[in-house]
Amino acid sequence: MNIATATPTEIDTLLAELYRRQGASDAAIAQSRRAIYRALGNRLASSRQRITLTDADVAAFRARIEGDQMFRGRHLHALEAFDKATAALADVVAEAAPLHAEYDRRPWSRFFLVPGGHIHSSMHCSTCNRNGKATAFAWLPEVSGQTEAEAVAAHGSVLCTSCYPSAPLSWTDFYEREAERKAAEYCSGSGTTDWEDGKVRTGFMAGNGGYCAHCGGWAGTASRSSRAMRKHKPAKG
């Protein structure tokens, strides 16, 4: 691909995959660093405890691996995992560099989806990456270079008002409308105990349920001990 003539979508599609690979490498590095930290005699109070592991610590760990066969046998896997993930991250950074440079040369609009449905114009919004926790971003390369309206028409998602101060409120009810649409696909008897003639079979290993008084179709129970009706779509005909 000729980067100089590639479209924003083509470039950002590659960057989205590199971003995924970077995340995997970052996670592997973090896991191996914690293993090295413990191997050096440090204790972790919890799985979420932040650690401080310096280059000198890694160098000391590497030296001990070389000089202590017993220690090597127990902890070599941590060093190998660290080196492998570090090399993978370096490869990602090298592959992404010319793509980022092209974006810097001719910037275009970008759209990033985060858990909860908000769309941001970058990964540096002030509402993200807060309280020491990194926000998970999903690239939307298929709409890179488009206008806000075009991106929303394609994804119907909520625009972050910090990134897009002019975002109209009419765009912010997409997920509510989607929830209503999906709920409408299921029978209104779902979750109720409205069994036809009040008859329902429960307590058996299999075959629990009865006929729904709303749609007339067969529906199972939510569990062996529950009389509530499992979510189901209306019976046809």
Residue 77 sits in the same domain as residue 119: no
In the chain, how many domains are there?
A: 3
Residue 62 sits in the same domain as residue 115: no
Helices then strands, counting H and E runs in the chain, come out as 5, 6
Last residue of a domain, one of 139, 161, 181: 181
Residue 91 sits in the same domain as residue 176: no
pLDDT at 12: 96
Residue 140 sits in the same domain as residue 160: yes
* pTM beyond 0.85: no
Residue 233 sits in the same domain as residue 174: no
Residue 143 sits in the same domain as residue 204: no
Tokens 């806000």 -> residue: 148
Neighbouring-strand partners of residue 112 = 120, 139
Helix axis angle for 69-105 and 8-39, nearest 10°, is 160
Nearest 5 degrees, angle CA 173-CA 179-CA 184?
A: 125
- List, for residues 163-204, the tens digit of each pLDDT value: 887 665 555 555 566 677 888 889 999 999 999 999 999 988
Helix (H) or strand (E) holding 83: helix 69-105
Residue 96 sits in the same domain as residue 21: yes
CA distances (Å), origin 203, targets 25, 122, 196, 220: 48, 53, 18, 12
Last residue of a domain, one of 72, 106, 140: 106
Residue 191 sits in the same domain as residue 235: yes
Residue 6 structural domain? 1-106
Lowest-confidence region among 9-18, 134-143, 157-166: 157-166
Amino acid at 225: S
Last residue of a domain, one of 142, 162, 181: 181
Residues near 99 by beta carbon (within 8 Å), at least 6 away in sequence: 3, 11, 14, 15, 18
Residue 10 sits in the same domain as residue 51: yes
pLDDT at 38: 92
Dist CA 94 CA 176 (whole Å):
42
pLDDT at 178: 66
Residue 91 sits in the same domain as residue 29: yes
Helix (H) or strand (E) holding 171: none
Residue 176 sits in the same domain as residue 189: no
- List, for residues 68-85, the tens digit of each pLDDT value: 999 999 999 999 999 999
Residue 1 sits in the same domain as residue 39: yes
